[in-house]
C-alpha cells in the first residue's frame, strides 16, 4: 500500500495481537500465517487503527478477530465488495482481505475478479487449502481431480481452478505465492503491501484435519531446494542450489527446465526474473508442479492507477466549480410559480 521507503517501526508483533482466543484446530497452517502477518505489520509503517482486515466466511475468515486492528467478518464470498465500499468511503485506510479457496474462488469468485479488474488498493490473501474445512471437508474449487470427500465419495471429477492464473487473467497487477510455514512469507506480504493496487497473494495452507499434507511434496523442508523456485526480481530463475534453471523453449513458446553447468546460467539460457513481464508471468502461473518446481515469491508486480484514486479524481473534477446548493437543485428545470391569481412561468 505504501511506497517502500524507510519505515520506522513504531509497533511490535505484540501490538497486533488481539485479546481473543485463537480457535483454529491445533496444528492448522492458519496459526503460522497469523504469526507471519503479525510479524509483517510493524514493518508496513501503517498504524493499527488505520488498518482493516476484512474477511468472508470459512476457517480463514476468522482471521480479523485475532488482529488488533479494525476488522469486519462479513458474509460468504463478499469481502471484496465490503472492502470496495470501505475504501471508497475512506481511501486512507489500509485494507487486507482474508479469504480462502471456497470463499474467494467459488461463492465469491465474481467479486474477487471484479476487485482485481478494478484494481482497488488492498492486499488479498487467499488461503488455499484445497478443501472446505469449516463445513467438514467437502472438496473445493482448487481440489485436485479425484479428491475423496464427504460430497465426492467416488472422487471429484472437475478440474481445479488455479488461483494465480485466475488473478492474472482478471487483470491483476500483482501476483505472489507463499505457504504457511515458509520463512519467506513475511517478505512476500511486505511486497504485496508495498504494491499500490490490488495485490493478490496465494498462500498454500495445510488443513491438518481434512486435507493433511497435500502441499508436502514441495513444502517439506527436506529437498525443498529442488522443488521450490523462489523468484527474485532481477535474478536468474535458479533452483536446486543453482544447478537447474527455468529457460524459454523458443520453439514451443513455453518454459522448460534446464541444467546449469558450473553456475553458467547464461549459457543455459536461464531467464532473469522481471516482475513487470506480463507474458512470462502468464507462463509462471500456469507452470505445473512436478514437471517444474513450484514458483513462489513475487511472480508479477507492475502497478497502474488504482480504482479509488480514479473515483476520487473524477468526483473532484465533477465537483469543480459547483456548489452543493440543494435548495437550488430542487428548483432546477422548468418550474412555475402559483400566485393567488394562477400560475406563471
Partner 1 sequence: MATAVEDLADKRQSPLSDAVVVRFAGDSGDGMQLTGGQFTLSTALAGNDLATFPDFPAEIRAPQGTLFGVSAFQINFGSSEITTAGDAPDVLVAMNPAALKTNVPSLKPGGLIIADSGEFNDRNLAKAKCESNPLEDGSLAKWQLLKLNISQLTMDAVKPFGLGNKEALRCKNMWTLGLALWMFDRDRAPLIEWLKAKFAKAPELAEANIAALNAGHAYGETAELAGPLKQHHVAPAPVAPGLYRTLTGAEGIALGLVAGAQLAKLPMFFGGYPITPASAILHHLSRLKEYDVTTFQAEDEIAAICAAIGASYGGSLGVTSSSGPGIALKGEAMGLAIMTELPLVIVNSQRGGPSTGLPTKTEQSDLYQAVYGRNGDAPMPVIAARSPGDAFECAIEACRIATQYMTPVMLLTDGYIANAAEPWAVPDLTAYEAFPVEFLTEVPEGGFKPYSRDEKLARPWVKPGTPGLLHRIGGIEKEVDTGHLNYNPENHQAMTNLRKAKVDGIRIPDQIVELGAEGGNLAVVGWGSTFGPIHQAVRRKRAEGHDVSHIHIRHIWPLPGNLGELLRSYDKVIVPEMNTGQLKTVLRDQYLVDAKPLNKVSGQPFRIAEIEAAIEEALG
- Residue 324 is a binding residue for partner 1 (CB under 8 A): yes
Long-range contacts of 182-185 (CB under 8 A, 24+ apart): 182/219, 182/296, 184/230, 184/296, 184/297, 185/32, 185/33, 185/36
By C-beta, is 240 or 311 nearer to partner 1?
311
Instruction: Decide: is 14 part of the binding site for partner 1 (CB under 8 A).
Output: no
Work out whether 318 is an interface residue with partner 1 (CB under 8 A). Answer: yes
Q: Is 317 helix (H, G, I), strand (E, B) or coil?
A: helix
Q: Collapsing DSSP states into helix, strand and coil, what is residue 72? A: strand
Asked whether position 262 contacts partner 1 by CB under 8 A, the answer is no
Backbone angles phi, psi at 316, to 5 degrees: -65, -40
* 88 lies in the binding site for partner 1 (CB under 8 A): yes
Give ∠ CA 167-83-317 in degrees, rounded to 5. 100
Instruction: Give the DSSP H/E element, type plus range, for residue 231.
Output: strand 228-231
User: Smaller CB distance to partner 1: residue 212 or 319?
Assistant: 319
72 is an interface residue for partner 1 by CB under 8 A? yes
Query: For cell 520463512, what's the residue?
Result: 183
- The piece of 73-81, 149-157, 233-241, 264-272 that touches partner 1 (CB under 8 A) is 73-81
- Decide whether 37 or 294 has the Cβ nearer to partner 1: 37
The half-sphere exposure of 92 on its side-chain side, counting CA atoms within 13 A, is: 4
Closest to partner 1 by CB, 120 or 176: 120
15 HSE (CA, 13 A, CB side): 14
CB of 256 to partner 1, least distance (A): 38
Taking the least distance from each CB to partner 1, the nearer of 304 and 322 is 322
CB contact burial 177-192 (16+ within 10 A = b; e otherwise): bbbbbbeebbbbbbbb
12 binds partner 1 (CB under 8 A): no
CA distance 123 to 175: 10
Q: Give the three cell numbers for residue 198.
A: 490490488
What's the min distance (Å) between Cβ of 17 and partner 1?
12
CB of 180 to partner 1, least distance (A): 22
Question: Does residue 275 belong to the site contacting partner 1 (CB under 8 A)?
Answer: no
Within 10 angstroms of residue 10's Cβ, the number of other Cβ atoms is 9
- Binding partner 1 (rule: CB under 8 A), the pick from 20, 148, 216, 233 is 20
Distance CA 333, CA 311 (A): 28
Q: How far is the CB of 73 from partner 1 (least distance, A)?
A: 3
CB of 126 to partner 1, least distance (A): 18
Residue choice 30, 37, 82, 192 for contact with partner 1 (CB under 8 A): 82
CA-nearest of 44, 41, 31 to 194 is 44
Instruction: Give the nearer residue to partner 1 in terms of CB position, either 122 or 168.
Output: 122
Contact 117, 191 (CB under 8 A): no
Beta bridge mates, 289: 292
Closest CB to partner 1 among residues 112, 162: 112
With contacts defined by CB under 8 A, name the span among 76-84, 129-137, 192-200, 219-227 that binds partner 1: 76-84
Residues in contact with partner 1 by the rule CB under 8 A: 18, 20, 47-50, 52, 54, 57, 64-65, 67-76, 78, 80-90, 92-93, 110-111, 113-114, 311, 314-315, 318-319, 322-324, 326-327, 329-340, 342-343, 345
Amino acid at each position: 500500500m505504501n511506497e517502500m521507503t524507510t519505515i520506522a517501526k513504531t509497533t511490535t508483533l505484540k501490538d497486533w495481537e488481539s485479546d481473543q482466543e485463537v480457535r483454529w484446530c491445533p496444528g492448522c497452517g492458519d496459526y503460522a500465517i497469523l504469526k507471519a502477518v503479525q510479524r509483517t505489520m510493524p514493518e508496513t509503517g501503517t498504524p493499527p487503527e488505520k488498518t482493516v482486515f476484512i474477511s468472508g466466511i470459512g476457517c480463514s475468515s476468522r482471521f480479523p478477530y485475532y488482529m488488533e486492528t479494525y476488522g469486519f467478518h462479513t458474509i460468504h464470498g463478499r469481502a471484496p465488495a465490503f472492502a470496495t465500499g470501505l475504501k471508497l468511503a475512506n481511501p486512507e485506510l489500509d485494507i487486507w482481505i482474508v479469504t480462502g479457496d471456497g470463499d474467494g474462488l467459488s461463492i465469491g469468485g465474481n467479486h474477487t475478479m471484479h476487485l482485481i479488474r478494478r484494481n482497488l488498493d488492498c492486499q488479498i490473501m487467499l488461503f488455499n487449502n484445497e478443501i472446505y474445512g469449516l463445513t467438514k471437508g467437502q472438496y473445493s474449487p482448487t481440489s485436485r481431480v479425484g479428491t475423496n470427500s464427504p460430497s465426492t465419495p467416488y472422487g471429484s471429477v472437475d478440474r481445479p481452478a488455479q488461483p494465480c492464473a485466475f488473478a492474472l487473467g482478471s487483470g491483476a497487477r500483482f501476483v505472489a505465492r507463499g505457504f504457511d510455514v515458509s520463512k519467506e512469507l513475511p517478505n512476500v506480504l511486505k511486497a504485496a503491501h508495498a504494491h499500490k493496487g490490488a495485490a493478490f497473494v496465494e498462500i498454500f495452507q495445510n488443513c491438518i484435519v481434512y486435507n493433511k499434507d497435500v502441499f508436502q511434496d514441495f513444502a517439506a523442508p527436506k529437498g525443498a531446494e529442488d522443488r521450490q523456485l523462489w523468484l527474485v526480481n532481477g535474478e536468474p530463475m535458479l533452483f536446486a542450489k543453482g544447478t537447474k534453471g527455468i529457460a524459454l523453449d523458443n520453439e514451443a513458446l513455453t518454459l522448460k527446465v534446464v541444467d546449469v553447468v558450473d553456475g553458467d546460467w547464461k549459457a543455459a539460457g536461464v531467464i532473469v526474473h522481471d516482475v513487470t513481464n506480463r507474458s512470462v508471468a502468464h507462463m509462471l502461473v500456469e507452470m505445473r508442479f512436478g514437471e517444474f518446481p513450484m514458483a513462489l515469491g513475487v511472480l508479477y508486480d507492475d502497478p497502474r492507477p488504482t480504482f479509488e484514486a480514479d473515483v476520487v479524481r473524477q468526483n473532484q473534477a465533477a465537483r469543480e466549480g459547483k456548489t452543493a446548493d440543494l435548495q437550488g437543485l430542487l428548483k432546477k428545470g422548468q418550474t412555475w410559480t402559483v400566485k393567488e391569481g394562477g400560475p406563471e412561468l
